[in-house]
């Protein structure tokens, strides 16, 4: 009777493993939305827990069959041989489910990381857009133009590392057929906005550089003129102080 019960337990274990393999490993998953992907991750976590919980039952079954094999060699040995196959299949099932769970968790992490990088770069684009708009309507002063140019250039010095991550993460998910439509749409919108704002910013930077150069040249000319007038004023004052007749002065002083 004990052998029969153990045989029944082995059969139930084999049936359960077949069902678990069909349910968790043989289904074709299509992840077309974040909700579907998240649901699949949670399902595989439950599957991993479910499979690992059977470990205690498998150990008890193994101990009982080992004892029976020692007491009743012919019948027990047959069960031990069958047990070896069950143990091998159980370990394989555990490894495959753990592997799939780990893969899905990495895919989900990749998706979350992509969203985080997109948020960072979108915030940077908003800052860039704001600086461009500010630079389009400035007081016509040297300080204002210089400050606006420095502010715009500081934003443009933003490193390209995040955009590289966005491109690589997005391509990895798309290549795996995961959220490909959603990711393609997001990347297309981001890249279009990036190209547009970058072009506007560089164009505005060139305008500000030219404007600043012109203002600096005008400021320099004004300074030279002021120095020349100051020197002329000094000379005229000196002539007047010395009561020199106008016809005795140089032509420019007259």
* pLDDT-derived band at 206, boundaries 50, 70, 90: very high
Cα–Cα distance measured from residue 221 to residue 134, given in angstroms and rounded to the nearest whole number:
28
Q: Which is nearest to 97 in space by CA: 3, 24, 153, 159?
A: 24
- Distance, in Å, from the CA atom of 227 to the CA atom of 53, rounded to the nearest integer, reads 92
| pLDDT > 90? residue 246 | no
Query: What angle in degrees, to the nearest 10, is found between the helix axes of 73-136 and 180-241?
Result: 30
Say if residues 206 and 199 touch (Cβ distance below 8 Å): no
| Statement: residue 254 has pLDDT above 60 | no
Query: Residues near 132 by Cβ (< 8 Å), separated by ≥ 6?
Result: 152, 197, 200, 201, 204
From residue 157, how far is each of 48, 154, 183 by CA, in Å?
47, 5, 27
Is the pLDDT assigned to residue 72 strictly greater than 90? no
Closest CA to 111 of 13, 216, 182, 25: 182
First to last CA, the chain: 136
Residue 109 has pLDDT above 90, yes or no: yes
CATH number for region 1-211? 1.20.58.60
Average pLDDT of the residues of the chain: 87
In a 13 Å sphere around the CA of 239, the CA atoms on its Cβ side amount to 16
- Tens of pLDDT along 220-242? 999 999 999 998 888 888 877 77
Measured distance CA(245)–CA(215) in Å, rounded: 41
Q: What is the mean pLDDT of residues 237-248?
A: 69
Contact (CB, 8 A) for 93 and 47? no
Kindly report the pTM of this predicted structure: 0.77
Cα–chain center distance at 8: 52
Pair 145, 138: CB distance under 8 Å = yes
- For the segment 200-205, the average pLDDT, to the nearest whole number, is 95
Residue 242: helix, strand or coil by DSSP?
A: coil
């Amino acid at each position: 009777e004990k052998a029969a019960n153990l045989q029944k337990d082995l059969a139930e274990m084999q049936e359960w493993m077949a069902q678990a393999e069909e349910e968790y490993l043989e289904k074709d998953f299509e992840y077309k939305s974040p909700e579907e992907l998240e649901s699949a991750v949670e399902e595989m976590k439950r599957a991993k827990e479910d499979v690992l919980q059977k470990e205690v039952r498998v150990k008890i079954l193994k101990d009982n069959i080992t004892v029976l094999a020692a007491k009743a060699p012919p019948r027990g040995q047959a069960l031990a041989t069958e047990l070896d196959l069950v143990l091998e299949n159980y370990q394989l099932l555990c490894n495959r489910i753990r592997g799939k769970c780990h893969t899905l968790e990495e895919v989900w992490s990749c998706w979350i990381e992509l969203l985080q990088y997109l948020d960072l770069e979108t915030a940077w684009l908003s800052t860039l857009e704001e600086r461009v708009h500010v630079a389009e309507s400035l007081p016509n002063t040297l300080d204002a133009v210089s400050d606006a140019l420095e502010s715009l250039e500081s934003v443009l010095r933003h490193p390209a590392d995040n955009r590289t991550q966005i491109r690589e993460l997005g391509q990895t998910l798309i290549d795996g057929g995961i959220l490909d439509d959603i990711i393609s749409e997001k990347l297309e919108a981001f890249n279009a906005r990036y190209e547009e704002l970058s072009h506007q910013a560089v164009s505005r930077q060139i305008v500000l550089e030219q404007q600043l150069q012109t203002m600096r040249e005008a400021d320099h000319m004004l300074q030279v003129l002021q120095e020349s007038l100051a020197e002329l004023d000094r000379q005229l004052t000196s002539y007047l102080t010395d009561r020199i007749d106008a016809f005795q002065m140089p032509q420019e002083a007259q």
